Amino acid sequence: MNPVERVLHQELTGLLDRLSTSVPAGGFETIRGANPTLKTRLDDADAKLAAVRESLLDSYGRWRRALEDLENLWALGAWRSTAAEEASEQSAALAA
C-alpha cells in the first residue's frame, strides 16, 4: 500500500467510525424510510468517491514517475560532469 492509499484508507476508516457512532439503531433502513431518495444519493456519492480515489491514485503514480525522472536527470548531469572533469584531467596529464 503506497502512502496515498494509506491516507485514503485512514480517511475512509475514520468516516466509518464516525458513522457507526452517529447512525441510530435500525440504521440505514430507518433513515431510508424517512428519506426515500437517500439510497440513490448514497450510490451517487459512493461512485463519486470511488472516481476521485482512482484519480488521486493515478495522479500519485504520475507524481512518483516525475520524481524518478527528475532524480535520473540530476544523476545523469552529475555523471556527465564527473566524466567531463576526468576527461579534462586526462587531457592535461597527456599534455604535460
What confidence tens digit (pLDDT) does each residue in 43-82 have?
999 999 999 999 999 999 999 999 999 999 999 999 988 8
Element of type H or E holding 13: helix 3-22
Tell me how far CA of residue 61 lies from CA of 7, 35, 49, 66, 74, in angstroms.
15, 40, 18, 9, 20
pLDDT at residue 11 greater than cutoff 90 = yes
Sorted by where each begins, the domain ranges of the chain are 3-95
For the entire predicted model, the pTM comes to 0.70
CA torsion through residues 5, 7, 8, 9, sign: positive
pLDDT (0 to 100) of residue 94: 67
**Residue written as cell 435500525?**
26
Instruction: Say which residues have a Cβ less than 8 Å from residue 61's Cβ, sequence separation at least 6.
Output: none
